[in-house]
Structures are given as structure tokens and as C-alpha cells.
Amino acid sequence: MTDAPGPQVAWVTGAGKGIGRAVARRLALNGWTVAASARTAEDLASLAADCPPGAVHGFPLDVTDLAMSQSTVQLIERQLGEIELAVLNAGTHSPMAAEQFSVETFRRLVETNLMGTVNGLAQIIPKLIERKRGHIAVVASLAGYRGLPTAAAYGATKAGLINMCEALKPELECHGVRLTLINPGFIETPLTDKNDFPMPYLMPVEDAADRIVRGLRRTAFEVAFPWRFAFLMKFLRLLPDRMFFMLTRRMIGG
């Protein structure tokens, strides 16, 4: 990705708050025409008012609704033009301890974090393959690297996104389509504001947006940050299970 030489179109999901909002704003400031999607029209209107006039256009969307995802992409391209960059960021988090294991919580996170992204990919991939160009960015999480206490549902969805992107990347490259995987750590957003546990290397959301937009300009497959936390999580992937579970038991006081 390069900053748009003209009004190229970027589609950003989960743009009402947090990382998605900050990324949408950064792209708008860099000259992109941004199609911003979120559940709440008021959040989208607020985002548009916070950006250069005419740079951001709101398209309300529940990413768990496949038919709505299809109609939204069609509407974006009809009104703004062909999507050159899709940042599939919409997601949510709910901690879930083993004692409160819940099918409902698991299903909600899978439908939003994993299937919500799949619903978007199903609309954009065929278009970009046909055009033999374009760029897709999928926002997962460093939490997808290894299973951590209270994150059984959240981590599973993010691990699924990571695996899916690894599988898709070489196939999409054969068609001239770029795929970037974005793995943030703890970022200051309304979601992390609810956490009542230590969050190492917590990063301001505007700094995260800068890392993402800079990362999209490079050719690397993965954009992972903050680097210290990313290094720590990558190290945990290399640990033998016995040592890894010793550490995670300490996290829950076991």
C-alpha cells in the first residue's frame, strides 16, 4: 500500500471506535477516500466530522450478517468506486474463565471476530482476484499465538484468523492481491478499558494506527506490535508445553 495518489477507496470495518476509527482517520488524512463501516451510525457520523470534509463515508454494517456484508460492499463500489484496500478490523472481546464457560459467549465471539471477517472476505476476494490487484488487511491479535487464561474464546478466533491468512496469502499473491496480517497487543481502546488485569506494553490507539498504516506500505506479511510484547509472545510459541503451562498457571495464581 502507498498513500493514495488520487482518491482511491479504502474500506475499514469496525471503524466506529478504537483501532478501526484511528486507522480510518489516518487513511483519510493520507488522501484516501474511506468507506467506514460500524454498527452505529452515530459513531460513523462522528468519525466523518473528525476527518477532512468528504474523506469519510459511513456505511453502517453488522459484520455477522452475510447478506448485509454483500449489499454494503456493492453499495460502496457503486457510490465511491472500486475498493483498493480492505481493512477487516471489526471484533470484540469477552473474558471467559473455565468456571464460566459459555456457548453463547463463544458463539458471539466466533460470529463477530472470525465469521465477521470471513463475511467481508467473501465479498472482496472475488473482486480483487478478477481485477488482479488490491490489498487486504486482516486484524487479528498477538493473543492468537498461544492460549492464555480467560481467553479461550477470544484467542481461538484470533488464532483462526492467523491460520486463515497464512493459508490464503500465497494463493492470493498468485492473482496479484496482497494480504497483510495485523497482530496488535494491548491497545488503549474502549474494549481494553474494561480489563481489570495488568496489560503489558499498553499502547495508545493513535500510535497503533500509525504502526498499521506504516506497515501496510511495506511488503512484510505480518505487522506485529508493540515489538517487546510481540517478541514475548513469539518466544512463548517456542517454549515446551511444560514450561508454558507453568507460566500460565502462575497467571491465575495456580
Domains in the chain, please, with CATH? 9-251 (3.40.50.720)
Angle of CA points 52, 210, 174, to nearest 5°: 100
- The CA–CA distances, whole Å, from 238 to 145, 160, 180 equal 10, 19, 23
Radius of gyration of the chain (CA): 18
Instruction: Assess whether pLDDT exceeds 90 at residue 252.
Output: no
Looking at residue 232, what is its pLDDT? 93
Looking at residue 3, what is its pLDDT? 55
List residues with catalytic annotation. Answer: 154
pLDDT digits (tens, 9 = 90+) for 140-163: 999 999 999 999 999 999 999 999
Looking at residue 197, what is its pLDDT? 59
Answering whether pTM is above 0.85, one says yes
Instruction: Assess whether pLDDT exceeds 90 at residue 189.
Output: no
Instruction: Assess whether pLDDT exceeds 80 at residue 37.
Output: yes
Angle of CA points 207, 173, 128, to nearest 5°: 80
Element (H, E) at 126: helix 115-131
